[in-house]
Amino acid sequence: MQFDRLTTEMRRLALQAGEKIMQIYQADDFDIRSKSDDSPVTAADEAADALISAGLREAFPDVALVTEEQSDTHTQTLRTFLIVDPLDGTKEFVQRRGDFTVNIAYVEDGIPVRGVVYAPAKGRLFYTTADGRSVEEQGPFGDTPGEIAPIGVNATPDNRALMVVASKSHRDAATDAYIEKYGVRDMTSAGSSLKFCLVATGEADLYPRLGRTMEWDTAAGDAVLRGAGGEVVRFDDHTKLAYGKPGFENPFFIAYAPGVLLVKE
C-alpha cells in the first residue's frame, strides 16, 4: 500500500463526505428510513457512502472495500481491506446532537493500521499519517492540510482517578457496572467513534463497550487510537481486537491508554 497516497485520499474523501453530510444536516428536514436491523439510515448516509466508495475504488481498485451501506454484498472472509462507515452515529445525526463522524480505515492482516475520523459538526479531524502516527488537524480544512498536532494517550493515568468515556446512545446497566470496578475521577459521553479519539488525545483514559458494534463502526477510531499509543482489546480475554471476522461483527471490547490497569470481569 502507498501510505502517502492513502492518507491523502482518506482525508480528502472524509472532508468531501462531511460537506455533503452537513448540507443535509442543516436542511429543515430529511427523510429517515429503517434498515433490516431497525437501525436508521438517511440520505446523508447514502450520499457519503456513494462518494467515498467511488473515490476509494478509483484510487485503490485492487483493494477489497467494505462499507456499512453495502454490507449485504460482503460475504467473503478478508484480511486486508478498506472499511468505511460513511456516517457513524446516525442516531446523533437524526437528533441533531453533532456527535457523528465519517470513518475510513485500512486493515492489513486483520489490524487497522491507518484511519481517518472526521466529525464535521464538531470541526474535529483525526487521522494517521503515512508513517502511522496519529494527528489532529486544526480547521478550517482545505485541500492542503493545515496546522497538524501529534496526539497521544495519557501516558500516566491515575488508576485511582480515571477519566472514562461511554456511549451516548447505547449506555446500559452492564457498562455502568463494569465502570464501577475502577477508580473514576469523572465520566463523559460521546457518540460514534469520537470515543476512541478522546482516548487517543488523552481527554479520556478508558472506553469500555459492552454492546453490539460492527467493524466499520470501530476500525478508523481503532487505527487512530493505536497510532496514538493506545490499545483496543476484547472484553472477555483482553486479546487484541481483530478485523475481517465473519459477518464483520465485533465482540465486546475495551479501548484504553496502556497505563490503565484493566479489570477482569
Annotated binding site for substrate: 68, 87-90, 217
- SS3 assignment, position 233: strand
Of 137, 157, 155, residue with least CA distance to 147: 137
Buried b / exposed e along 97-110 (16+ C-beta atoms within 10 A): ebbbbbbbbbbeee
Pair 69, 47: CB distance under 8 Å: no
Residue numbering of the annotated binding site for Mg(2+): 68, 85, 87-88, 217
Residue with cell 492489513: 108
Of 88, 93, 94, residue with least CA distance to 69: 88
Q: For CA atoms 255, 68, 39, 214, give the dihedral sign.
A: negative
- Distance CA(84)–CA(60), nearest Å, equals 14
Residue numbering of the annotated binding site: 68, 85, 87-90, 217
